[in-house]
């Protein structure tokens, strides 16, 4: 019988915020059930591009807001988020693009 140590939400959040966490683990953490963990991954400057794109398509606005605020987010994805259904996401993206916010 295999025995695995389970990590807590706090452990996973700490791993998502730890600058030494490798990209492969970030990809795994981006699938976490807790949106705070996913948002922490999406806010990272070293978040893999494919992971950023997947997180940009999330339903949870906190995750998408974190992605929209990520300075490493390519302009193409930022353009997409500037038309997001959620006003808070649109505002972040439009502000970063220099568009009028309103």
Model confidence pLDDT, tens digit, residues 50-101: 999 999 999 999 999 999 999 999 999 999 999 999 999 999 999 999 997 6
Query: Which DSSP letter does residue 70 get?
Result: -
- Long-range contacts from 85-89, C-beta under 8 angstroms, 24+ separation: 86/61, 88/61, 89/61, 89/64, 89/65
The average pLDDT across 26-43 equals 97
Residue 63 CB partners (closer than 8 Å, separation 6+): 35, 38, 39, 42, 55
Contact (CB, 8 A) for 93 and 82: yes
> The pTM is what?
0.89
């Amino acid at each position: 019988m295999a025995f695995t140590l389970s990590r807590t939400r706090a452990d996973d959040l700490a791993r998502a915020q730890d600058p030494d966490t490798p990209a492969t683990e970030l990809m795994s953490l981006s699938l976490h059930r807790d949106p705070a963990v996913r948002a922490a991954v999406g806010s990272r400057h070293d978040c893999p591009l494919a992971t950023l794109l997947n997180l940009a398509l999330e339903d949870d606005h906190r995750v998408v807001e974190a992605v929209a605020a990520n300075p490493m987010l390519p302009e193409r994805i930022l353009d997409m988020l500037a038309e997001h259904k959620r006003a808070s996401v649109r505002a972040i993206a439009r502000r970063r693009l220099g568009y009028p916010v309103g």
